[in-house]
Structure 1
Amino acid sequence: MSLSGALYNAFSGLRANTRAANVVSTNISNATTESYGRRSLELSPGAAGTSGGVRIDGVVRNVDPVILADRRLSDASHGYGNSLYAFSTRFEAAVGDSDTPGSLISRTLAFENALLTAASNPASTQRLEIVAESADALADKLNVLSDGIQEARETADRTIGMQVDRINDTMRSLERINERVRKAFNSGGDASSLLDERQRLLDGISEIVPLRVVQREQGQISVYTRGGATLLEMSASEIGFTRTAFITPDMGLGTGLSGLTLDGEPIVSTDRGMFAGGDMAAQFEIRDRLAPARQAELDGLASELMQRLDGITADASLVAGDAGLFRDINGGLSAGLNPAAFDPANEVGAAQRIRLNTDQVAPGAGNSWRLRDGMYAGTAGNVGDATLIQAIANALTDIAPPATTAFGTKPTSLTGLFGDFTGSVAGGRVSAENELSFLVSQQTAMKELELNQGVDTDAELQRLMQIEQNYAANAKVMSTVDELMERLLSI
């Protein structure tokens, strides 16, 4: 080998080692950066017939596309399960259990106990007042729970709107990155930073919807949902959604609430549609199925409560069509100018509308004696007669088929219905928690697999030591060649 050939080889080695040191230092400094792909320098021998040396082919970004795709799918599943669990947990906390003061079941039992206590001493105004207060508290609890259901639906609707905006913005950004990657590919430039940004953007929406990424020519990608919706194919698609500021119990998908469109065309927005499997699907599930189902159960409880107490035959002051202890605020007035009895055909939203019949009995108004003498009685009667109070208590505990369709036809007491509802809410939370526990484990396992493909700082430091040794060796060759050339020139 000639001295010039040796000098060229050493020089190319120094250049390659300098570039390799930059790559390793970049890896180490970004070891904890999300969506960063570990770089490696690709080298090859110089072309035959030249002076040899080493040739830099470029920087390769090392990412396992299979592990990355599986991790994104686990992100979407986790987003779906986490949102359903959060809804179940919040609603269970709002309903409460028998040991929680102010819970639905505790207020039901407080109302029942107040009636039994008053029946033992119907002359006690204080005990009658407690009955009125506990009845008012029970109706208020149903109102609060129903309002909470609608707030959860409104929150889900707002979340869907924000997620749609985020996906649209992301796809437009990816469209621009695709073009920049194509230019870098054609010019031989390093597009690694662009690919990092592209992965970061995709990871940012991976919980919202399951993604399927397809590699195209010149480093570009196409993006689809697992359900088959095209999000990016040369150009970005546009997802459409209309937010609804105020949601009422009678509203549903297609009846006041918006679904999704893709490039202006309506698509299925349920959990079996093109966007199924991620957090967005969970928000639709909450808004259009889970929350309305709980609302229907609450409406059934309110309906049953009003219907059972509208028909108390022991109350001689009640006539057909009059409301009893509870009333529907949309019920209007009967012919006798009394609040009208609850209409079973108007059950939707009953839990929001149920109120204590305060025109006749109101806490602190001095008219609680009507609980003993008749809801529409004009004057007080026999203070020792507990017949009506006992009849109201019996209406809560009597075993009968539910008048509402929300709970089937199995005979049960009203108190039993409230208890079954509380148990059902707790059971729903347990099921959601078990499912989420599995999804968290799955996501953790996939992230660990992905991290194993990432930057190992120990290995990078070992590479850096090797690079330093190689650099020193090439520098020594250049120094030796320089000494030899000086000796030759001095002869």
Structure 2
Amino acid sequence: MSNMLAIGASGVRAYQGALTTTSENIVNAGTAGYVRRTAQQREVTGAGAGLLTGNAIAGSGVAITGVARAADMFREAAVRTAEADAARTDTGLVWLDRIEGALTMSALDDRLAAFFNAGQAVAADPSATAPRAVMLEQASALAASFRSTGSSLEAALADLDAEAGLAAQSLTSLAAGIARVNAGLSRTSAGSAGQASLLDERDRLLGEMSALIDLDVQYDTAGRASVRAGSAGGPLLVAGDQAGNVTFARNAEGAASISVQRAGQTAVAPANGGKLAGLVDGVARVVDALAAVDTLAADFVVSVNAVQAGGEDMAGAPGGDWFAGERASQMQMVLGDPRGIAAASAGAGARDNGNIAALAALRDSGGFEDRLVEQVGVNAAAIDGRRVVAQAQDAIRTSALAARGALSGVNLDEEAVDLMRFQQAYQASSRVIQIASEAIQSILDIR
């Protein structure tokens, strides 16, 4: 009878633990990062006297050996890779859109066309002041458009620096979190609920890290993660309970890089995925666009001023500079008097239009409008290409998440069935204890 009591008691304990685990699954069905758990059970055996087999191994009940997570490291790695790839592309698209806005919102192409068209009106009647005044207004508007375009791109670059710095700080904090989880796993018993919670937190943190940079992750037998940033050959970001520090920087040429400082050494992380990789891509795109606009502005200033210097204004004096500024954001119109437009060739008189005709020729030879249109077109083509890639990566990410969810996600219908099954087993085990107790009492009553 004592065996019956022990068997019943073991069942009560085991199924109480199973009920607790199932209840945890149900309660956390909507919790981000929670992985479904199951209570692992085994038969308890021991030596005893068998009626037919003599000295044989007899069943002695059931015991919970631990809590198992329905997780798969390969599916987790697939999700991290998909997240990193999608984050890079999505981030890059944000800054390509920002470049497109900077190149088009100030209507720089329209302002260039309006300036040269105003020059043609002056050429038609060089001695009239009204066309000259209009051309001066168009020149002022053009300078403002150049400034706005250049300033917008410079502001985008400053915003990129700030956002990348914050992303690097976030990655540093997440790495420190992984180090703390590793330390906790070192002190936690295998198969315990505490270990399961720490492993959930580990995977959640790794998922957030992969959205910032692609990772190479290795695990030891205790589940502790060693994390390299960028690739398998990248710098070690987390090892044991020690984490590195991540920084973002740009060199004098504007090229951006991600570095990891750990254990007194600094190494560049070859970021191929994640938000930081997208920000590095964005920096390269903005730097190129800004350089193209600055070069366009500088060439325009030098070329127009050269044409202006080759002619005479209405007073017969050599033409002064139209514009000043070495970068787009610095461009200013410095010609303040419409009569100062040098429309005439040297010595030809105020009614001559020989020099303003040279400005029309500069429109073709300088190709300013065509260069701007080309820059806008290159950026637009990059946006279209990235959007196609983004759609494919979203599909891959969705598939990876579905595959992981099919294994580790909580299905409330299944959990409800388990809940009833374990409850019935618990009640049956309780009934075994009750019957054994009643039998023992009956024997005692006979005595």
**TM-score computed with the length of structure 2 as normaliser:** 0.85
The structure richer in helix per residue is 2
**Pairing 1:260–2:214 present:** no
Alignment match, 1:160: 164
Alignment match, 2:31: 33
Distance 1:234 1:314 in 2: 70
Alignment match, 1:405: none
Which of 415, 422, 436 is the equivalent residue of 2:376?
A: 422
Say what the alpha-carbon RMSD is for the aligned residues: 3.1
Distance 1:95 1:174 in 2: 42
- Whether contact under 8 Å (1:88, 1:432) holds in the other structure is no
How far residue 187 of structure 1 moved from its aligned partner, in angstroms, is 10
C-alpha spacing 1:198/1:261, structure 2 compared with 1 (3 Å): closer
- Whether contact under 8 Å (1:371, 1:388) holds in the other structure is no
Aligned residue type for 1:429: I
Aligned residue type for 2:303: R
Alignment match, 2:226: 222
- Whether contact under 8 Å (2:308, 2:320) holds in the other structure is no
Alignment match, 1:47: 45
Q: Name the stretch that deviates more: 307-316 or 191-200.
A: 307-316
Aligned residue type for 1:262: Q
Aligned residue type for 2:398: T
Alignment match, 1:479: 434
Aligned residue type for 1:355: Q
Distance 1:354 1:43 in 2: 77
1:61-100 superposed Cα distances (whole Å, 9 cap, x missing partner): 121110101111111111211111100011112222xxx7
Alignment match, 2:270: 274
**Pairing 1:205–2:175 present:** no
**Pairing 1:64–2:72 present:** yes
1:179-237 superposed Cα distances (whole Å, 9 cap, x missing partner): 22111127967311111222222222111111122111333221123242111223424
How far residue 478 of structure 1 moved from its aligned partner, in angstroms, is 3.1
**Pairing 1:464–2:419 present:** yes
Aligned residue type for 2:306: G
**Secondary structure of the corresponding residue to residue 226 of structure 2:** strand
**Secondary structure of the corresponding residue to residue 252 of structure 1:** coil
**Pairing 1:128–2:132 present:** yes
Alignment match, 1:455: 410
> Unpaired segments of 5 or more residues in structure 2?
48-57
C-alpha spacing 1:323/1:165, structure 2 compared with 1 (3 Å): farther
How far residue 108 of structure 1 moved from its aligned partner, in angstroms, is 2.1
Distance 1:421 1:188 in 2: 60
How far residue 156 of structure 1 moved from its aligned partner, in angstroms, is 2.3
C-alpha spacing 1:259/1:459, structure 2 compared with 1 (3 Å): closer
- Whether contact under 8 Å (2:310, 2:319) holds in the other structure is no
How far residue 302 of structure 1 moved from its aligned partner, in angstroms, is 1.1
C-alpha spacing 1:235/1:482, structure 2 compared with 1 (3 Å): closer
Distance 1:217 1:435 in 2: 38
- Whether contact under 8 Å (1:314, 1:387) holds in the other structure is no
Aligned residue type for 1:106: D
Distance 2:266 2:426 in 1: 62
How far residue 126 of structure 1 moved from its aligned partner, in angstroms, is 4.2
Which of 338, 348, 351 is the equivalent residue of 2:328?
A: 351
- Whether contact under 8 Å (1:88, 1:429) holds in the other structure is yes
Identity over aligned residues, as a percent?
24
1:296-343 superposed Cα distances (whole Å, 9 cap, x missing partner): 211221133123313327952389x98642222xxxxxxxxxxxxxxx
How far residue 59 of structure 1 moved from its aligned partner, in angstroms, is 0.7
**Where in structure 2 are the equivalents of 1:49-128 lying within 5 Å?**
49=47, 52-96=60-104, 102-122=106-126, 125-128=129-132
How far residue 45 of structure 1 moved from its aligned partner, in angstroms, is 0.2
Alignment match, 2:54: none
- Whether contact under 8 Å (1:12, 1:54) holds in the other structure is yes
- Whether contact under 8 Å (2:4, 2:432) holds in the other structure is yes
Aligned pairs, number = 428
Aligned residue type for 1:267: A
> Unpaired segments of 5 or more residues in structure 1?
329-348, 362-366, 403-412
- Whether contact under 8 Å (1:314, 1:388) holds in the other structure is no
**Secondary structure of the corresponding residue to residue 222 of structure 2:** helix
**Where in structure 2 are the equivalents of 1:135-154 lying within 5 Å?**
135-154=139-158
**TM-score computed with the length of structure 1 as normaliser:** 0.78
How far residue 112 of structure 1 moved from its aligned partner, in angstroms, is 3.0
Aligned residue type for 1:477: V
**Secondary structure of the corresponding residue to residue 210 of structure 2:** coil
- Whether contact under 8 Å (2:109, 2:373) holds in the other structure is yes
**Pairing 1:293–2:288 present:** yes
Alignment match, 2:175: 171
Alignment match, 2:338: 368
C-alpha spacing 1:427/1:129, structure 2 compared with 1 (3 Å): farther
**Where in structure 2 are the equivalents of 1:10-25 lying within 5 Å?**
10-25=8-23
- Whether contact under 8 Å (1:370, 1:376) holds in the other structure is no
C-alpha spacing 1:322/1:185, structure 2 compared with 1 (3 Å): farther
Aligned residue type for 2:90: N
Which of 359, 362, 372 is the equivalent residue of 1:392?
A: 359
How far residue 439 of structure 1 moved from its aligned partner, in angstroms, is 2.0
How far residue 43 of structure 1 moved from its aligned partner, in angstroms, is 0.1
**Secondary structure of the corresponding residue to residue 32 of structure 2:** coil
Distance 2:216 2:223 in 1: 16
- Whether contact under 8 Å (1:42, 1:59) holds in the other structure is yes
**Pairing 1:284–2:288 present:** no
Alignment match, 1:326: 323
**Where in structure 2 are the equivalents of 1:428-447 lying within 5 Å?**
428-447=382-401
Q: Name the stretch that deviates more: 37-46 or 220-229.
A: 220-229
The structure richer in strand per residue is 2
- Whether contact under 8 Å (1:174, 1:198) holds in the other structure is yes
